[in-house]
Structure 1
């Protein structure tokens, strides 16, 4: 069986820590076995590894989150990057085509699941049993449904057929689906034995290939990628699951939490204050999550969440914290914190254009961390000027075709259109402050061709070799 993790999100529900690049899936807030902290994605991958399933796993994500996925899971897991967000139907179709292109048999069972459920190890035992459930039942699709602990209005429901012996087989036939009911409807569904829909689907890959063919979508993975901007945004549940028969569901009676808001996440944090700060003893059920260097203190206020990051500060009652999705932030700002496989970038300050001789010029100040042995991709940086001050660490710098050593205290000036790259020594990270001056500083950088360090070094050497045709 192949497993595909669907990773995405708009980054609104756990703002200000989450943003459009670093959605809740990637927040390193959960206690890890080694005493550190891990993200929801890292936790799921660790559990898949313990269940012997990680080697068969791939991840689908939007291209804007490709780097942060790579930084958290490493290079061994295949990661498919969608050029546009087109919903779960298209993401699942892309993964199905990818597996087919890789020579995977159409009869291979493929399991699709979210990248961020908070579950126990027993959940992955259920996942591992899905191929046998499909074989025993003869169903076209198998799902995992969680036994509800209360009548939730936040989840979809799977309604089993009523006339069946629930003890005779580990799975149940599915009669229908219900999407996020009101409280009365949720209670009625529980009385019918309905299960929460965990978002896990398993079927033979041939099933999805047939669905794609019936819609006239390309057989080739690359051609499907090329059509992405023309495809509509579609839900796999609505387009496929709710129209497929027969379907069975495997009940799961264990921990299954959707940590989709601060109220749900707070009980899983290690301590009442994550980051600099303190909560007073008389502030019951209050938590601080602080990514800033300045401490946050809460005294005598109960039932709130205080979350602070370079993107902003949230102070809210836990019960009302989910309303952050409804707040219109006005003009969208570029994320103030980004994570890449080579390190991190934090925007420290933005100085807007002034009315003086430098009118139209914005200044952006960033703190950049380059991990040991990692490098920036080599590229030209456009129309802005930059200066770098190395705060710590050492490495090699490529600038305008020349390779030099750099160290703590060095100040480097990058003129517009200059090609550059930086490689940190393996002995430690490089920390630097970047000051950027230019009219485009506030805008997200467009996708640009880039080279690895090795390719950049080769380019420099080729540029410096004399032309044998010239005397």
Structure 2
């Protein structure tokens, strides 16, 4: 079968540890079977690998997550990078187009779509085989995986099967109920309704035919070029709820949404991380990613998090409601981001009396890696090398650099740098508009590799 893993969310409810560049699925707060730190992405790949199914994996993601995915995942997989975020329906359509038009996958082959940030038992992944069998039997257009509820949650959608006995196997779906009130949810559980966990199975041709309703393009790149024409909505609303027939495979086991600090900390084995001293606290988790000391004393049932992107102090129960508050205060740009070439961290930024803006950050470029050959229209940059050896090119002129080297780059100048050994550079930007979008790239000056 073909497995499409969806990795696109920004995890705002886990701010400031999670953001557009470093989403919750990359946080190494879990533990593997040997006790080593593990991310949700790594746990998902481990679960699929142990499921005993023959499969190829495609990850549908956005550009800001590509570097993190390649850092977290080993083995063979393909990436489908969305030109823009447009919800799950377009992401799945684009991934299916990739399978059909780039990988030449047969139209009658099973495709299973799963979130990449699931926390569940191994039995959850072992249901992949049952979904495949249901799809290939032709019993319905789409087969879902439904989770047996453990309490009447108001946060999840419910799948109501025609088989109200709660029996094993595959059942036709009678209807869907989206995030009901607690009393309604309790009544649904009495009818053996299941939580919708966002797992879909279908034959590839079913979705390929659907793409033709929106686009005339007959190539993967053509579909990607017209991506904005695809409906910006979820796969549930656009496809599942409009399907003529839907079936569901029942799963009874652990399944959790670790999307809030309250639920995530339940799986964190350590109560503190980083440069921190905790005293006289009960059920309080503290994470400090800053290189300054932190003391937390006499605070109970709370979460305290400090990162370059911000500081959060919240009661654990209230932490589920922080999203609108974060939207009011959080910076648009991530203060720390992993890239294919290495990473950067913003040290300071400000606006001065003259109206000039400044931003200082540190770049760490991996040995053998380079920044693209690029220019900026609205800013100048000044680089001071603090560690490592490398080469800088400005408008075609190459200069070797080492600790203490200083490079000035004027607006409009083409420039790049490559690291001969791991290279650390302090970068100061000056200009009227200091945004990541002020980059015009021209490939790579040095051949990659």
TM > 0.5 fold call: yes
Shift of 1:453: 5.3
Shift of 1:137: 6.0
On the 8 A contact 2:113/2:200 being kept in 1, the answer is: yes
TM, length-normalised to structure 2: 0.92
What number of residue pairs does the alignment pair up? 447
On the 8 A contact 1:7/1:59 being kept in 2, the answer is: yes
User: Which position in structure 1 is the counterpart of 2:432?
Assistant: 439
User: Which position in structure 2 is the counterpart of 1:143?
Assistant: 144
Distance in 1 (alpha carbons) for counterparts of 2:448 and 2:380: 21
User: Which position in structure 2 is the counterpart of 1:161?
Assistant: 162
Encode CA deviations 1:330-365: one digit per residue, 9 max, x unaligned: 5853221222111111111002122xxxx2221111
On the 8 A contact 2:22/2:65 being kept in 1, the answer is: yes
Secondary structure, aligned partner of 1:17: coil
Secondary structure, aligned partner of 1:234: coil
Secondary structure, aligned partner of 1:110: strand
Q: Does 1:389 align with 2:384?
A: yes
Shift of 1:209: 1.5
Change over 3 Å in CA distance of 1:9–1:38 after alignment to 2 = same
TM, length-normalised to structure 1: 0.88
Moved more, 171-180 or 378-387: 378-387
Change over 3 Å in CA distance of 1:118–1:456 after alignment to 2 = closer
Moved more, 60-69 or 14-23: 60-69
Distance in 1 (alpha carbons) for counterparts of 2:438 and 2:53: 36
The residue correspondences of 1:275-424 to structure 2 (distance < 5 A) are 275-280=274-279, 282-327=280-325, 328-329=327-328, 333-354=332-353, 359-424=354-419
User: Which position in structure 1 is the counterpart of 2:57?
Assistant: 57
On the 8 A contact 2:288/2:307 being kept in 1, the answer is: yes
Distance in 2 (alpha carbons) for counterparts of 1:140 and 1:115: 23
Encode CA deviations 1:147-179: one digit per residue, 9 max, x unaligned: 111111111111111356814xx2222211111
Unaligned runs of 5+ in 1: 458-471
Distance in 1 (alpha carbons) for counterparts of 2:334 and 2:263: 24
Distance in 2 (alpha carbons) for counterparts of 1:223 and 1:423: 33
Distance in 2 (alpha carbons) for counterparts of 1:299 and 1:73: 38
On the 8 A contact 1:380/1:419 being kept in 2, the answer is: yes
On the 8 A contact 2:373/2:444 being kept in 1, the answer is: yes
Over aligned residue pairs, what C-alpha RMSD do you find? Answer: 2.5
Distance in 2 (alpha carbons) for counterparts of 1:240 and 1:402: 54
Unaligned runs of 5+ in 2: none
Q: Does 1:90 align with 2:83?
A: no
Change over 3 Å in CA distance of 1:267–1:409 after alignment to 2 = farther
Change over 3 Å in CA distance of 1:221–1:450 after alignment to 2 = same
Distance in 1 (alpha carbons) for counterparts of 2:324 and 2:380: 38
